[in-house]
């Protein structure tokens, strides 16, 4: 049954029970204290009124003084040793107050004629015989006061409980409002994520649930709502990237696939000469290689995304790996009349994954050859200092403007208007390069400007304690 109650109702119930018990306890304690004060004051008044009469009776043997007394609200009675009434104050008009068992002190009795009375009983010792002096005062007034107070408390208790409950309901409702708003927002976003076609997500998330006209709430709920907003924004951008990636990837794969389809359809339409088959197969081979590279690249990036790109730790000489990469692009560079100028420090020992590092260098060299104009020069530098290897690739290509620079590491991102259709990487080169460098704990920076060429710098830290540093000192 508890599960069916909302958090708000449960908080309210708990609050009302606690406040109800506390209120009832304090009201009862207050009433008991008041009653005790009122009664003790009444008793003091009674004793103060009885004392002079008792003193008088003790010193003066005449009981008739009592008979003459007629003070409103004060009834006197005197008894002798045998309990016989010897004097009654005038206002008793002959009515005898029956003394209960007690013979001294204070007592409360119910008199059939005078109602509720408080008695002060005093023993007076005299030579002609002892007397018992009784002063009776009606308690009607204080009983009425206490009764009125009880009634007041009886109304006050449910009234204040209702008021406190109302305030609590308002405050709890107000405090929990961000949670309700977050729940609504989360549900709405979950629905959108389920049904929205790519690009249909709202560009901006609605203001978070903790925001109000007075600004963001700076309490626990405000901070929770803010954290949720950040999470939503993160998820939103991850989702957009994923959708963009899927759309880009399918677009990239579609082009070679349609070329393949076209070529095979053409071949199958009618018998061809061996030369025609040869030509078509060369095109098919080219497109298959392109497809293979894209799939390979996607696979590498998927492994990197999963945090599983773990490079081997092989001892190697980076200058040798870089030389090898340069010689692999040399023929393509020669075809375009591009010179590759190398300044490579020797014996740069390093511990890393040779295949990945070769792929890394090839990506920069391939791009440099691809985007550089013919008869230009590519400079390749390799140096090491302070336990870090520096590799630099500088070309005289078209350069990259500042607005595109932050995006060139994104998958399938291409700077518009830049040539290089014979892409080796299928638009994934720099993304893969970054994944490889990060897996080796390094970083890439690019300085470039339109018309001024591009320089890609790779920093690779030498793993601590490896031979790298010792060898580097030689250069
Ligand atoms: P691609 O296969 O298109 O070269 P990359 O990820 O290697 O993919 O590069 C991303 C984009 O960055 C390229 O499309 C190109 O616009 C730009 N780029 C990369 N290298 C260079 C360079 N050396 N000179 C000019 N632009 C470059």
Beta-carbon contacts of residue 364 (< 8 Å; ≥ 6 apart) = 393, 433, 456, 458
User: Which residue did the predictor score with more confidence, 216 or 373?
Assistant: 373
The residue-averaged pLDDT of 349-364 equals: 95
Nearest to 446 by CA among 374, 377, 395, 373: 395
pLDDT, position 203: 46
What is the distance in A from the centroid of ligand 1 to the CA of 373?
Answer: 14
Rounded CA separation 345/381 (Å): 8
E strands, 125-263, are: 131-138, 211-212, 215-216
The residue-averaged pLDDT of 129-147 equals: 91
Does the global pTM surpass 0.75?
A: no
Give the C-alpha distances (Å, rounded to integers) separating 184 from 178, 189, 208: 10, 9, 11
The residue-averaged pLDDT of 214-237 equals: 73
Element (H or E) spanning 155, and its range? helix 140-195
Beta-carbon contacts of residue 366 (< 8 Å; ≥ 6 apart) = 329, 332, 424, 425, 429
What is the distance in A from the centroid of ligand 1 to the CA of 456?
Answer: 11
Residue among 414, 445, 448, 452 to mutate when testing ligand 1 (max atoms within 8 A of CB): 414
The residue-averaged pLDDT of 116-138 equals: 89
* Strand-pair category, 454-461 with 314-317: unpaired
Whether residue 429 has pLDDT greater than 50: yes
What dihedral do alpha carbons 255, 256, 262, 265 form, nearest 10°? -140
- Identify the residue whose C-alpha is closest to ligand 1 atom 3: 427
Residue 163: CB atoms within 10 Å: 11
- Identify the residue whose C-alpha is closest to ligand 1 atom 11: 414
Q: Which residues line ligand 1 (CB under 6 A)?
A: 363, 367-368, 371, 395, 397-398, 400, 408, 413-415, 418, 420, 423, 425-431, 454
Rounded CA separation 197/108 (Å): 89
Confidence of residue 453 (pLDDT cuts 50, 70, 90): very high
Helices (H) and strands (E) in the chain, counts: 9, 14
What is the distance in A from the centroid of ligand 1 to the CA of 201?
Answer: 29
3-state secondary structure 229-293: HHHHHHHHHHHHHHHHHHHHHHHHHHHHHHHHHHHHHHHHHCCCCHHHHHHHHHHHHHHHHHHHH
CA 365-383-328 angle, to 5 degrees, is 25
β-partners of residue 340 are: 378
Tell me if residue 350 falls in helix, strand or coil: strand
pLDDT, position 218: 66
Ligand 1 atom closest to Cα of residue 418: 16
Residue 238: CB atoms within 10 Å: 10
The residue-averaged pLDDT of 221-244 equals: 80
Mean pLDDT lowest for which of 328-332, 436-440, 469-473?
469-473
Output the DSSP codes for 376-445. -EEEEEEEEETTEEEEEEE--S----TTTGGGTTSTT---TT----S-SSTT-HHHHHHHHHHHTT-EEE
Tell me if residue 215 falls in helix, strand or coil: strand
What is the distance in A from the centroid of ligand 1 to the CA of 414?
Answer: 6
Rounded CA separation 132/92 (Å): 17
β-partners of residue 394 are: 379, 455
Tell me if residue 216 falls in helix, strand or coil: strand
Mean pLDDT lowest for which of 191-200, 376-385, 410-419, 445-454?
191-200
Q: For the chain, what is the radius of gyration of the CA atoms?
A: 51
Confidence of residue 469 (pLDDT cuts 50, 70, 90): very low
For the chain, give the percent of residues with pLDDT over 90: 50
State both tokens at 146: 């206490």
């Amino acid at each position: 049954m508890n599960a069916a109650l909302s958090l708000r109702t449960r908080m309210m119930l708990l609050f009302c029970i606690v406040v109800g018990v506390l209120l009832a306890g304090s009201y009862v304690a207050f009433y008991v204290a008041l009653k005790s004060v009122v009664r003790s004051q009444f008793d003091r008044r009674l004793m103060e009124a009885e004392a002079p009469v008792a003193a008088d009776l003790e010193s003066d043997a005449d009981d008739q003084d009592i008979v003459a007394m007629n003070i409103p609200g004060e009834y006197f009675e005197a008894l002798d040793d045998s309990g016989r009434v010897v004097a009654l104050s005038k206002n008793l008009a002959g009515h005898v107050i029956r003394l209960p068992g007690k013979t001294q002190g204070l007592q409360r009795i119910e008199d059939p004629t005078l109602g509720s009375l408080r008695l002060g009983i005093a023993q007076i010792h005299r030579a002609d015989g002892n007397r018992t002096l009784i002063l009776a005062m009606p308690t009607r007034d204080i009983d009425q006061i206490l009764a009125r107070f009880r009634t007041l408390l009886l109304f006050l208790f449910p009234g204040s409980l209702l008021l406190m409950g109302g305030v609590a309901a308002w405050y709890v409702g107000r405090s929990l409002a961000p949670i309700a708003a977050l729940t609504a927002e989360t549900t709405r976003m979950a629905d959108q994520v389920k049904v929205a076609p790519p690009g249909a997500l709202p560009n901006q998330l609605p203001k978070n649930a903790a925001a109000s006209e007075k600004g963001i709430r700076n309490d626990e709920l405000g901070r929770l709502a803010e954290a949720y907003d950040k999470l939503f924004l993160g998820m939103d951008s991850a989702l957009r990237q994923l959708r963009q990636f899927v759309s880009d990837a399918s677009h990239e794969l579609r082009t070679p696939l349609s070329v393949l389809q076209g070529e095979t359809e053409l071949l199958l339409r009618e018998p061809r000469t061996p030369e025609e088959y040869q030509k078509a197969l060369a095109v098919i081979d080219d497109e298959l290689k392109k497809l293979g590279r894209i799939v390979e690249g996607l696979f590498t990036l998927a492994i990197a995304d999963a945090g599983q790109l773990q490079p081997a730790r092989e001892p190697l000489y980076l200058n040798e790996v870089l030389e090898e990469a340069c010689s692999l692009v040399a023929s393509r560079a020669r075809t375009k009349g591009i010179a590759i100028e190398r300044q490579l420090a020797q014996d740069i020992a390093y511990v890393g994954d040779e295949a990945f590092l070769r792929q890394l260098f090839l990506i920069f060299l391939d791009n440099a050859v691809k985007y550089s104009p013919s008869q230009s020069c590519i400079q390749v530098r390799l140096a090491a200092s302070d336990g870090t290897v520096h590799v630099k690739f500088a070309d005289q290509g078209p350069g990259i403007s500042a607005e595109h620079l932050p995006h060139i590491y994104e998958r399938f991102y291409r700077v518009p208007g830049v040539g290089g259709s014979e892409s080796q990487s299928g638009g994934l080169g720099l993304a893969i390069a970054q994944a490889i460098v990060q897996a080796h704990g390094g970083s890439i920076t690019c300085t470039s400007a339109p018309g001024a060429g591009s320089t890609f710098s790779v920093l690779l830290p030498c793993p601590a304690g490896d031979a790298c540093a010792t060898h580097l000192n030689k250069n």
